Amino acid sequence: MEDLKRFDIAVFGDVLMVVVESDLLPPDPAVVVIPLLRDYPAVSRLNPVICIGEEKLILATRLIASVRRARLQRIGSAVDCGDEITRAVDVLMGGV
């Protein structure tokens, strides 16, 4: 299993994803992720912009899913955007 941590950026096929699952959970073959997309309709606080190098991608929070760890390859980290990512998940779940 790929060693992925919360806020890691990983590639699934040709889509970048951010791991949002807590590091405190026991190991599992799947991990919860949110895709990072170029052309996605952004809603304030629900879809923050995440910069990866010079590229600006939108966190597609409503497309949250689980993916098998074996299908992901870690390429970086979005830990510096952790507060915005956590807030987006809170908005998705709680509406505020």
* CATH number of the CATH domain containing 31: 2.30.30.110
Q: Which pLDDT score, from 0 to 100, does residue 9 have?
A: 97
Q: Compute the C-alpha angle 56/65/8, nearest 5°.
A: 50
**Structural domains in the chain (count):** 1
Residue 19's domain comprises: 8-94
| pLDDT tens digits, one per residue of 9-43 | 999 999 999 999 999 999 899 999 999 999 999 99
Is the predicted pLDDT of residue 54 greater than 60, yes or no?
yes
Classify residue 3: in a domain, yes or no. no
What are 56-71's pLDDT values in tens digits? 999 999 999 999 999 9
pLDDT at 74: 96
pLDDT score of 95: 86
pLDDT (0 to 100) of residue 96: 73
Q: In one letter, which amino acid is 57?
A: L
Instruction: To the nearest 10°, report the CA torsion of 76, 42, 89, 25.
Output: -30
